[in-house]
Structure 1
Amino acid sequence: MTFQTEPPHKHGTTGRSAIVLVNLGTPDEPTRSAVRRYLKEFLSDPRVVEIPKAVWWFILNLIILPFRSGQSAKKYATIWTREGSPLRTNTAAQALGLRAALGERGHEDLTVAMAMRYGSPSLPEVLTKLKADGADRILVLPAYPQYSGTTTGSIYDAVFQHYGSVRNIPELRFIRNYHDHDGYIRALQQSVLNHWDQHGQPDKLVMSFHGVPKRTLMLGDPYHCECLKTARLLAAALKLTPDQYVVTFQSRFGKAEWLQPYTAPTVAQLARDGVKRLDVICPGFISDCLETLEEISMEVRHDFESNGGREFHYIPCLNDSPAWIAALAEIAEQHIIGWPTKLAPAERELLKKDAEVARAAALQLGAAD
C-alpha cells in the first residue's frame, strides 16, 4: 500500500487542535455540467442510495444525470447569489463565527475550517491542509443535528477512507448528533420567536425535515426518532399544543416510500382545510440551501397558495445567527475537553502586544492619510 507523503517534521513544535465543520455540499456554479459533477459524486455514495452497484450505475448514468442535471441547474440558478452558493457562504460564515466565539471563550490556539462531503472544499483536501499546518487533533462537526447513516455516517466513511492512506493519523473526535442539545433548541426557539415578533403567529407551524427512505428506519437508522424529538422539544419551548404544529418530511426521490407525512401534500391539504396563515421552518438544516430556499420557500409556497392558502411564511435556517453561533460553540467546546486549545499566559501576552502594535500602526497610517 502507498501512503501519502508526510509533511516535514519540526522538532520542538507542538501540535494544534482543529475543528472541521462539514456540510453536505453544493455545485461550484449553477450550470448543467457543474451540477452533473456534484450529483454524480453525491448519488454515487452507497450510503445515500442503497441499490446494487451495477443496477444503480445504469440508472444514474443513463437516466438520472442526463435529465436531472439540467433541471437542478435551473433550480440552483434561482437561489444563487453574487457570493455564490448560499449553502457554501452560510457554512463559511458559521465557521468564522464559531472560531470567533471559541476565541472569546479562551480557545485562541484553535483552527476552525469548513469542508463539504461532496464538492469543494472537499473533506480530504481540508484534512490534508490541516495536517500540513500542524494539526494533530481534529474534531469533526457534521452540519446535521440529527444522525443518519445517509449523512453523518457518510462523513465518517469519508474521514476513515482519507486516513486509510495516511501514515501518521491525528487524534480524531466526532460529534454524532445534537438534535436535543439545549443550545440548538434555544436557537431554533429564538429564530421562531423573532419571526413571530415581526409578523405575528400563524394558524399552524410546519416543521419540515429532510426525507429519507422509510426502509432506513425499518433497518435501524435513528434519524426519524431524532427528528421527532427535536420537534417535540421545540414545540415545548414555543408552548405549542399538538394541534398548532405538524412534522413533515421533504425532498423525496424515486418511487420508493419515504418517511411520512410528506411536506408538499400536507401543506396543500392544510390550505384546503382552511388554514390561511402557515409558517414553515426546517430544523434539520442549519444552513439555507436549495432544499429550503427553492423547495420550501418557492415550490411549497406555491402549493399552499394555489390550494387556497393566503399567507405563507418561510422561517430561515439558523445560518450565522448569534444564538446559533453561541450554541455551536457550546457543542464544540463540550467535545474538545482535554485538548490544549488555550494559549499560555506568555503567549497570550505576546499576542496582545502584537495586536496593540498592529492597531497603533493602523492608526498612524490613518492619521498620515
Structure 2
Amino acid sequence: MYATGFTVRTMSGAFEPGGRIVGESVPIRELVLPFWLTPESRPRFQRLWGTPGNFHKVRYHYDGPSGRRSLTLRLAKEITYTTEDGFDADIDGVYHAVVSALAVNPMYEGAESISEWTNPTDQFSVEVQGNGGTFTLTYRGATTQAIPYAATPAMVQTTLGYLSTVGAGNVTVTGTPNAYTVAISGSAGTLTGDGKNLTVGGIWGDLGWEHGNVAIDYAPNIGWFEVWNPTDQPLWLEWVFDPAKSWQFPDPSFGQERKWGRSPGQDLERMIVTPELTQMLSVMADPFMDTYVSADLSNAAGLFNGVEPLYAVPPYTGTADDPVLMPVVCVGPAGAKATLRQRRFWSAESGLEA
C-alpha cells in the first residue's frame, strides 16, 4: 500500500492562544487494510485489535525508499470477515478480513532518537561569611581540618582532597577566597560547612566576636543535546528529568515569536526553570499532550505558574551531521539524568526530504 490520501476535520480553536474564530482543519487518515487469514490465525488477529470496550493500538509499518515510517492505528469499525468467491472457509481454510482503522496521529512516524545527559559531578557554591577565624567542610561524613577564612581555592581543594570520601584527583575548586565553586566527582553526596569558628564584623556587645557562617548550595552544571528535524512537520520535544533542586531546559523560538504576540528575537534563547523535583518529571511540548506529568502520574502543571513550552522545532531544521545544540542546566546531585526524545513525523509514507 502506498497512499497519501486523507480527509480533514475542523477542530475548535477555543483553547488556542488568540482564540481562532473558525478553528483549524486537521488531517484525518482512515485506512482500509485487506488480510488473508486461516481459521487458526483468526482468533490471534482479533485479539491484536482488541474489542469495542478495549481497542488496542496497532502499528502499521511501511518500508519504502525513504526508510521505515509507521502509523499507529485503532479500529474505526467492526472487522468484516468474508470468503472470496470460489473459496469455502470451512473447506479451503481461508478468510478474507477487511479492517477499517483510524490513525491515532495522522502523520507517519519516522526514525526517532533518544539521548541522555547525566550530571557528572556534585558541584556546590560555597560562600564563607566572615572576616576572621576558620571553617570546616564535610562530605559524606568526613570533615576537613580547619581552613582559614581567606583560604585560596587551591588550599581548599588540597584540604578536601585529603578526605577519604573525596580523594585528591576527584575534586576541583575554583573561584575567589570566601566564594568557591567545588566540583566533586566519583561519588554522590552532600557538602556541608561549619562556620562556628568564623568571626564577622566587630565587637558584638559584651559577647565577643559574632559567629560567621558557611552558606552552601548546589551549583549548576550544563549539558548539551543535539537536535535536528529533517521532516516536513513540526518537531515537539519530549523531556524526562530526574529529581534535582532544579533543571533548566530549552524552548527556543527559532524566530516564531510572532505567533505568540511576542517581540522578534525575544525567545531565541528561552529557557524554562523547573521547581525542585522530588520525583521524575515528564515534559511534553506538544500542545495536545499533558505538558508536565510526575512519575506518580499526577499533573504537575500547577508547579510552573502557567509557564509552558511554546515552540516546536520547525521543519527542515538542522541535520544529523549538523544538529542544533541545546543546553540543559542541572542544579542537583551527581547522577541526575535528563533524557530527550525526538519523535519525527512526516505527512506521507515516503519522500518529502529537503
- Structure having the larger proportion of residues in strand: 2
Q: Which protein has the larger Cα radius of gyration, Structure 1 or Structure 2? A: 2
TM score, norm. by length of structure 1: 0.20
TM-score (norm 2): 0.21
**Larger relative CO (CA 8 A, sep 6+): 1 or 2?**
1
Higher helix share: 1
